[in-house]
Copies of this chain bind each other. A is one copy, B any other.
Amino acid sequence: MIKLKELEDKSKLIRKWCLISTTEAESGHPTSCLSAADISAVLFDKYFTYDISDPLNLFNDRFVLSKGHAAPLLYTLFGMAGAYPLEELKTLRKFGSRFEGHPVPEFIYADAATGSLGQGLSVAAGLALVAKRENFPTKAYVLLGDGELAEGQVWEAANFASYHKLDNLIAILDINRLAQSGETMFGHQVEKYVERFVAFGFDVTAIDGHNFEEIDNALERAVNNKSGKPVAIIAKTYKGKGISFLENKDGWHGKALKKEELQKALTELGAIDDALQFNLKKPSQTRSVEKIISNDTADLSFEKNKTYATREVFGEALTQLGKKNTAVYVLDGDVKNSTFTENFLKVFPDRFVECYIAEQNMVTVASGLSRLGKIPFVATFAAFLTRAADQIRMARISEANIKFVGSHVGVSIGEDGPSQMGLEDIAMFGALPGTIILQPADAVSAAKLVSQMIDHNGFVYMRTLRPKTAVLYEATQEFTIGGSCILRQSASDILTVAASGITVFEALKAADDLRKEGINIRVLDCYSVNPVDKSMLIKCAKETKKQILITVEDHFVHGGLGDFIIDAVSGMNIQVEKIAVPQISRSGSKEQLLNMAGIDAAGIIASINKLINTQKMQVAKMAL
C-alpha cells in the first residue's frame, strides 16, 4: 500500500525545489526534472535503501542519474533525504556550490559524473556487477531519459547487463517525449522502447509514470525480481508535468522559469510543507569501501638475450599483482589473447569482466567499479580506446581510478594497417589533466611499471607494444612515474635523442651506427611520457654540445611525447626537433613502416645530419 496524499505532497515538494533552484540559477532543465518527480518520489519514499551519512557503504543501494541535466531532481531527492537543507539548493550552478549544472564528484552522493548522455546504465551495470560478484544484497537504480536511448552505449550496456544476469539492476526510463531540439525519435510510442528492451533481455514493465499505484507496483516487482534478468521500468511521462504551462509543451527544454513564471508555477502547486522528508531505509550492514594499498612488485625475471612483448609482460605482471591486491579487476573487449589479460582470467575469473566488443560500456563499467573501491584495468588495442574517448573524459571528470592499457601502438604493428594502429592515444589521454602516461620499451620496465600503475591513485595509461623487444635493463633498475633512463652517453655527446617504446631501439641503433662514424649521441628512454622527466631532459640537453633534443615516437606529430618534451623544456633555450608519424600509415612490415614514417634509425640519423649541416651552414654564413 502507498500513502497517496503523502507521495503527492512529496513529489510536489520535489517539483517546487527543481523550479526554485533553476530560477535562482537562471538556467538549467526544470522540465526534465518534473517528468521524473513522481517516480523518484516513490523510489526514495519506499524502496531506496541508503545510509545518508555513509555514501560509500557497500550495503547501500545505488542511484545513478543518467540524464544528468536533471541534476536539480537528484539534489532535491538527497536534500529531502536529509543530506542538507533544501534552502542550499538556491546555490545551484553557482561558483563554489556542490550543486553543479550536472552532477560531479563534489556532490558525494553521485556515483559518477553524468551529463554526457547514455552513460548511466553502464555505471549502474558496473555497480550491480560488483554487488553480484561480492554478494551485496543491494540494488542499482538508474534513471534514464528517452532522448539518450539513441546513444549506442545504452545498448552495449543493455547487452552487458542481461548477459551478466544483473537482476539487481533496475533501469527507470523517463519517456517524456521531448528532447532538446524537438520530439525524440519515437515520441510517446512507448512500445518502441518496450520491444527494444525485451529483445535485449530485460524484464520490462511499462507504466504511467505519473500514476503512483503503477509506479509502486512496478518498483515492488522490480525489487523482488527473480527473473534472472535486469529490470526496465518504462514510464510514459510528461515533460514539465504538474505545471499547466510547461506540461508536454514544446520549447521548454533547458529553460529556467522567470521569476514571475515561477510564482505562477508555485501558486499552481499550492502550499507544501518544506519539512517533508524521505526517511530512507537503512542498509542491513555497514562495510565501507576501502582502498587496498599493496606496494607490491611483480616477481618476474627475464633473460638478457631473449625478446619479450611488453603486452605479454603486462599480462603476467598484472596476474601476479592481482594475487596481492584483490581490488584489481580486469575488463576486456574480446582481445584478451592480444592484450594478454587472458592470463588474469585464468587465475581470477571472478575479477575478470568480459565486455565483448563494446569499448564505451567497458570504460564506463570500470567507472562504476572504481566507485566501489575496485582498481579496474581496461585493456584493448590503443586504437580502440579512442572508441571510448567521451567515456574516458567523463570517467576522468568522475575522478575514477581506472588503469588503461592500450596495446598495438603505432605503425610498428605492421601488416594490419592504419585502422589498427594507436597513433593518437597520447594526445587523447594527455589532454586530460593529471593523467599519467607510461610506455615501457622492454620487459623489465613493463613489469615494474604495472605495480606503479596500481599504486598511483588516479588515471594511468600504459602503451604496450605488439612486437617483441630486447631486454634493456637489469632486474635491479628502478622505474618511477616521471622518470627516465639514459641508455647511451659519453663525455662527447653532440645531442640527445629522447625516445619511448619501440623508437628506443631505433635510437640505440642510430647511436651505434653514428658511433662508427665517430659521432656520439645520448639516448634517453622516456618511459614516463607524462609527466616527462623534465630535469633529466634539461640536464641531457645542457650536457651535450649542441643543446639539442630530438624526440622520436611512434605516434602522430601533434599531442605526443614530443609536445610534452617541448613544453617541459620551453624557455630553457634548448632546441627540440620532433620526429613522429607525419601521415596516415599503411600495411607493410614493421621495418618498412617505421622507415616510411621516418622514425627508424635511418630517419633519426638523417635528422641528426640535417641538424648538423644546417648548423654548419649557419656558422659558415655568419663567417662570410
Show the binding face of A for B, using Cβ within 8 Å: 25, 27-28, 68, 93-97, 100-102, 104, 106, 113-118, 147-148, 150-156, 159, 163, 179-182, 184-185, 195-196, 198-200, 332, 334-338, 342, 356-361, 383-384, 386-387, 389-390, 393-394, 396-397, 415-420, 423-424, 427-428, 430-434, 530, 556-560, 562-564, 566-567, 570-571, 573, 575-578, 581-584, 586-589, 592-593, 596
- Expressed in whole angstroms, the Cα–Cα distance for A42 and B198 within the complex equals 34
The 8 Å CB contact of A179, one of B151, B334, B361, is B334
Structural contact, A431 and B427, CB atoms closer than 8 A:
yes
A118: chain B residues within 8 A (beta carbon): 357
The 8 Å CB contact of A200, one of B153, B196, B592, is B196
Structural contact, B397 and A386, CB atoms closer than 8 A:
no
Structural contact, A424 and B417, CB atoms closer than 8 A:
no
Q: A102-B417, A420-B101 are in contact. Are A335 and B180 (CB under 8 A)?
A: yes
Structural contact, A558 and B431, CB atoms closer than 8 A:
yes
A332: chain B residues within 8 A (beta carbon): 181
The 8 Å CB contact of A431, one of B181, B424, B576, is B424
Smallest CB-CB A-B distances: 7 pairs: A152-B152, A115-B419, A95-B588, A389-B389, A199-B199, A424-B431, A427-B431
Q: A334-B181, A386-B393 are in contact. Are A587 and B415 (CB under 8 A)?
A: no
Please, could you name 11 A-B residue pairs with CB atoms under 8 Å apart, sorted by A?
A100-B417, A104-B584, A114-B419, A185-B356, A359-B390, A386-B389, A389-B428, A423-B431, A431-B556, A433-B582, A570-B577
Residue of B nearest to A430 (CB): B558
Structural contact, B587 and A577, CB atoms closer than 8 A:
no
- Expressed in whole angstroms, the Cα–Cα distance for A106 and B416 within the complex equals 15
Structural contact, A559 and B427, CB atoms closer than 8 A:
yes
- Expressed in whole angstroms, the Cα–Cα distance for A420 and B28 within the complex equals 13
Structural contact, B587 and A93, CB atoms closer than 8 A:
yes
- Expressed in whole angstroms, the Cα–Cα distance for A417 and B103 within the complex equals 9
Structural contact, A384 and B390, CB atoms closer than 8 A:
yes
Q: A116-B419, A117-B357, A556-B431 are in contact. Are A584 and B102 (CB under 8 A)?
A: no
The 8 Å CB contact of A68, one of B195, B337, B419, is B419
Residue of B nearest to A387 (CB): B390
The 8 Å CB contact of A334, one of B94, B97, B180, B582, is B180
- Expressed in whole angstroms, the Cα–Cα distance for A581 and B460 within the complex equals 20
- Expressed in whole angstroms, the Cα–Cα distance for A163 and B150 within the complex equals 11
Structural contact, A570 and B559, CB atoms closer than 8 A:
no
A383: chain B residues within 8 A (beta carbon): 116, 390, 393
How far does the Cβ of A87 sit from chain B's closest Cβ, in whole Å? 18
Structural contact, A338 and B567, CB atoms closer than 8 A:
no
A428: chain B residues within 8 A (beta carbon): 389, 424, 427-428, 431
Structural contact, A433 and B356, CB atoms closer than 8 A:
no
Q: A152-B151, A570-B578 are in contact. Are A418 and B430 (CB under 8 A)?
A: no
Q: A389-B428, A431-B427 are in contact. Are A100 and B152 (CB under 8 A)?
A: no
A150: chain B residues within 8 A (beta carbon): 156, 159, 334, 356-358
Which residue of A25, A27, A181, A356 has the most chain B CB atoms within 10 A of its CB atom?
A: A181
Structural contact, A397 and B584, CB atoms closer than 8 A:
yes
Residue of B nearest to A571 (CB): B575
- Expressed in whole angstroms, the Cα–Cα distance for A559 and B559 within the complex equals 5
Residue of B nearest to A564 (CB): B558
A104: chain B residues within 8 A (beta carbon): 417-419, 584, 586
Residue of B nearest to A201 (CB): B192
A101: chain B residues within 8 A (beta carbon): 415-417, 420, 587
Structural contact, B434 and A583, CB atoms closer than 8 A:
yes
A588: chain B residues within 8 A (beta carbon): 93-96
- Expressed in whole angstroms, the Cα–Cα distance for A118 and B335 within the complex equals 15
A584: chain B residues within 8 A (beta carbon): 104, 396-397, 433
Q: A200-B196, A431-B559 are in contact. Are A397 and B418 (CB under 8 A)?
A: yes
> With A196-B200, A432-B556 given, can you name 6 additional A-B contacts, CB distance below 8 Å?
A101-B415, A104-B586, A384-B390, A397-B418, A424-B432, A558-B563
Structural contact, B417 and A115, CB atoms closer than 8 A:
yes
The 8 Å CB contact of A387, one of B116, B200, B558, B575, is B116
Q: A116-B384, A386-B393 are in contact. Are A180 and B337 (CB under 8 A)?
A: yes
How far does the Cβ of A1 sit from chain B's closest Cβ, in whole Å? 36
- Expressed in whole angstroms, the Cα–Cα distance for A589 and B200 within the complex equals 42
- Expressed in whole angstroms, the Cα–Cα distance for A415 and B393 within the complex equals 19
Q: A337-B181, A434-B583 are in contact. Are A592 and B155 (CB under 8 A)?
A: no
Structural contact, A563 and B567, CB atoms closer than 8 A:
yes
How far does the Cβ of A254 sit from chain B's closest Cβ, in whole Å? 9
Residue of B nearest to A586 (CB): B100
Structural contact, B570 and A575, CB atoms closer than 8 A:
yes
A159: chain B residues within 8 A (beta carbon): 150, 185
